[in-house]
Structure 1
Amino acid sequence: MPTLARQEFSEVRTRAQRIKKISASDQIHAALRERIITLELAPGRNLSRQEIAEFYGVSQTPVRDAMLKLEEEGLLAIYPQSKTEVSKIDVEHARETQFLRLSIELEATRQLALSHDPQLLENARKALAHQREALASGNLEQFAKHDRLFHYSLLEAADVANLWDLVTMRSGHIDRLRNLNLPDPGKAANITYYHARILDAIEAGDTASTDDAVRGHLTGTLSQVDEIRSRNPEFF
C-alpha cells in the first residue's frame, strides 16, 4: 500500500487538528469504512495493520481499535496471528439490513405525509437537486453522497435522525451491493425518479403513494442481486 503523498498527509493532519473531539481511531474507522464501502478496498483484500498505520501516520493502536469496530460491523474478518481481510459481501445480511431500513423509512415518511408540512422536506429537496447535478456531470461519487443525505434528511425531518446511525452501522454489505449496482445503465436516473416520487407523495399527504414509492425504491438493488453477483463472483 503506498504511503500518503505529502499534500494528502498535510490535509489529514489539518482535519485532525480542526476536529479535536474525534479520536484517531474514529477517523481511521471512518476512512477505512468509506474505502471498503466504495470497493476501493475490495472484498477479500488483505490488510496490514502496520501498513495502515504508516499510511495514516499514526500508531498501530488506533488502527487496531478501528479494525475491531469494522469487524463488529461485518466488514473485516480478523484471524488472530494470521491475517486481516475485507469481508466478502453477505447477501443475507444485506437483506436483513434492508428489512430494518425499509421498516424505519416507511414509518418516517408516513409521519411526514401526515404532518402536511412541506418545509420539513427542504433539506431532502436540496439533496435531490444536488443528486441531479451530480448525475448530469457523471459524478457518481457525489451522487452517492447526496443519496445518503437525502435519506438522512427524511429521518431528520421525522425527528428520528439517530436511527440513521443504527442503519449505517449495519449497512456495509447492502451499501457495497448498491455501489456495484449504481453504474448500471439507468440506475442513477431511477433513484432520482423515486426520490422525486417520495417527496411529491409526502407533500400531497398521500400515505399510500408514499409507501408504494418507498417500497419500490428500497427494493431495487436486491431485486438485481443475482445479476450483480454473476458479474462479480469474487466479491461474494
Structure 2
Amino acid sequence: MTRKSSKEKGKEQPENKEQELESMQTEQASNQEDVVSEEDPIEEETVEEEQEDEERASDDADEACEDQVSLLKKQLVDLNDKHLRLVAEYDNYRKRTLKEKMELTKIAGERIFVNILPVIDDFERAIQHLGSASDLDSVKGGIDLIYNKFVNYLSQQGVKAIDTSNQDFDADVHEAITKIPAPSEEMKGKVIDCLEKGYLLDDKVIRFPKVVVGE
C-alpha cells in the first residue's frame, strides 16, 4: 500500500474541515426549516383562534348593545305609560276638585239664603200690621227687632259695618265722594260724614263706605 506524503495529508485536512463545515451548515439549515415548518401550523392556528375570539367578542358586544337598546325602549314605554296615567289622574283630580268647590259654594250660598228667609218673614208680618197698627212706637220697635236680627245674622257670617265716625281718611278703606272745609283744625283729613255704609267680610272690604272728607 502506498503511503501518502505529509504534504498530501496536510491538503486533505483543510478539505475535510470545509466539508464538515458545509455539512454542519446544511444540517443546521435543514433543522431550521424543520422548526419553521413545525411552527407555521401552530402560528396559523393561533391567528385563527385570535380572529375567532375577536369575532366572538364583537358578536357578544353587538348582542349586549341590542339587549341594552331593548331595555331602554321598554323603560321608555313604561315611563310614557306612567306619564299618561299621571296626566289623566291629575286631570280627573282637577275636575273633581272643581266640581266639589262648585258644590261647596252652592251649598254655602243655599245656607245663607235659608237663614235669611226668617228675616223676610218678619218683614212681611210687619208690613201686614202697618195698615192696622195704631201705636207707631210698637211698629218702630218691631222694625228695630227685625233689623237687629238681620245684623246679628250678618255678624255671625263674618260681615260687619266699617266704622267711619271721626276716622282718618284711608283710601284703602274709604271712598271719598267729596271734600268740604273742615269745621275745625282737628277734622282736617278726617271723615266728616258717611253717605253709605261700607262692610267687611272677615277683614276684607266687600263694599267701600262713601264718605265726605274735611280739608
Fold in common (TM above 0.5): no
Structure-1-length-normalised TM-score: 0.19
Larger Rg: 2
- Normalised to the residue count of structure 2, the TM-score between the two structures is 0.21
Q: Tell which has more relative contact order, 1 or 2 (C-alpha 8 A, sep 6+).
A: 1
